[in-house]
Amino acid sequence: MRLWESGRQRNDAAYYLIIQTAPLNPRWAGLRDPIPERLPKWTEQLPRDERLESELFAGMNSGINFDKYEEIPVEATGHDCPPPISLFADLKLHPWIEENIKLSGYGRPTPVQKYSIPTLMNNRDLMSCAQTGSGKTAAFLVPLINNVLQNGPEALYRVCFV
């Protein structure tokens, strides 16, 4: 069957024949493989590097008045939304993530994190809108990395390739 698209004639049968018989770029070769039965979980943490930690975690919160964050209004809509958290300790996070949150000096979550992290940890859809520096990136990555650390490398396959 020939179709016209953007002023060009396209032959679907020939197109799909090429796609099915063309050699797959080796970079993508493993994407269609079945998920391995059981990959080992990450159980070993690398030794601490005090110099690197001091560079990464020194002076992170300068200039931000976190007490004012409590006054920011937040609206959560949808059916049966998970309740917000008030402390990171309210979450059942992997110990490595808990340790990094403490090293970062974060005592309590920002408003966007209070609502976003429980929502994502409950496998719910989320759309967040907040100002720059409000913690949106951490609100997205904390549940994602926590899932991978707690469920092992096969969690990456479920997230990325299914």
Query: 3-class DSSP state for residue 162?
Result: coil
Ranges of each domain in the chain: 2-32, 50-161
- CA–CA separation, 3 vs 23, rounded Å? 25
Q: What is the pLDDT of residues 93-109, one digit of tens each?
A: 999 999 999 988 888 89
CATH level 3 topology of 50-161? Rossmann fold (3.40.50)
Q: What is the pLDDT of residues 18-74, one digit of tens each?
A: 556 556 667 766 666 666 666 677 778 888 888 998 888 876 555 566 677 777 778
Q: What is the token pair recorded at 14?
A: 């020939």
Average pLDDT score over the chain? 78
Give the pLDDT score at 58: 78
pTM for this model (two decimals): 0.67
Number of other residues whose CB lies within 10 A of the CB of residue 117: 27
Give the pLDDT score at 7: 59
- Do 127 and 78 form a contact (C-beta atoms < 8 A)? no
